[in-house]
Structure 1
């Protein structure tokens, strides 16, 4: 299930990225102080961290983070190709499982950040949001949020799966 979910999250993020223009890269995102271009570069860093997790068992973002690239969307595609290769040669099942979980959450969340920069009403597809929320909610607690996720935001229980996932991850859903 997680491998399939990771594939859906990857396809979602790729779809969002495929719509970006150079002008869109300067648009603000819901991440305070971050434009779409910076989030795209962060996504490349996240993918490198997932590759590292598969290869070494350690999940760590590259330091210093990327801050400039003339073709950030192409960079993400290149990194995704390397990640696909890393999955094919990974021998440790626990690392693969951890990378697919982290990747599904990151690609979905940052796909939304970038999508919202282009369209104020952008939503995560409901089935993807439901499945990512079901995957992450049992494992992301107060102690594991660290600096990566803010405290959950309250939303009505009848909110869309997209809004419930975003709120759970500490983001304020936009309507």
Structure 2
């Protein structure tokens, strides 16, 4: 299931990125102190880490994160192509499953960050949010959050799947 969800998360992130203009890259995001360009460049670093996971079995962000790129959207697109290739030749089923799960979470979460920077009413597609939440909720307890995810934010039980996922990942679904 995670490979299929990863594919949908990739499509979602690419759709969000395809709408960005140069002016949008300076917009603030829900990530405190991060503009859209910084989130997009971070996404390229995350994708590189996923390629590394598929190649070595270890998930490590680059020691020196990228800080900028003249065309960060093209950079992410290039890295996604590299990641797709890495999936196609990966031999270790556990690494594939882990990379697909982590990729689905990261692409969806940062897709939301970027989408929200452009449109305050932006939401993750409900079926994608529901499926990503099902992938991440069994593994992301308080001890596994580290520096990457804040504590969950309570949302009403009647909230959309998008709001439940974003809240679970420690982001305010209604900033």
One fold, TM greater than 0.5? yes
CA distance in 2, matches of 1:64, 1:117: 26
| C-alpha displacement of 1:164 | 0.3
Residue in 2 that maps onto 1:146: 146
Q: How does 1:45-84 map to 2 (within 5 A)?
A: 45-84=45-84
Residue in 2 that maps onto 1:174: 174
CA distance in 1, matches of 2:88, 2:75: 20
Query: Would you say how many aligned residue pairs link Structure 1 and Structure 2?
Result: 175
| C-alpha displacement of 1:2 | 1.0
- Residue 55 of structure 1 aligns to a residue in which SS? helix
- Residue 74 of structure 1 aligns to a residue in which SS? helix
CA distance in 2, matches of 1:125, 1:68: 29
Residue in 2 that maps onto 1:88: 88
- Residue 155 of structure 1 aligns to a residue in which SS? coil
Deviant stretches of 4+, over 4 Å: none
CA distance in 2, matches of 1:29, 1:68: 16
| C-alpha displacement of 1:55 | 0.4
- Residue 77 of structure 1 aligns to a residue in which SS? helix
CA distance in 2, matches of 1:174, 1:29: 13
| Gap runs ≥5 in structure 2 | none
Q: How does 1:1-175 map to 2 (within 5 A)?
A: 1-174=1-174
| C-alpha displacement of 1:85 | 0.6
Tell which deviates more after alignment, 60-69 or 40-49: 60-69
- Residue 4 of structure 1 aligns to a residue in which SS? helix
Q: TM-score, normalised by structure 1?
A: 0.99
| C-alpha displacement of 1:25 | 0.2
Q: TM-score, normalised by structure 2?
A: 0.99
CA distance in 2, matches of 1:163, 1:20: 23
| C-alpha displacement of 1:38 | 0.2
CA distance in 2, matches of 1:148, 1:57: 20
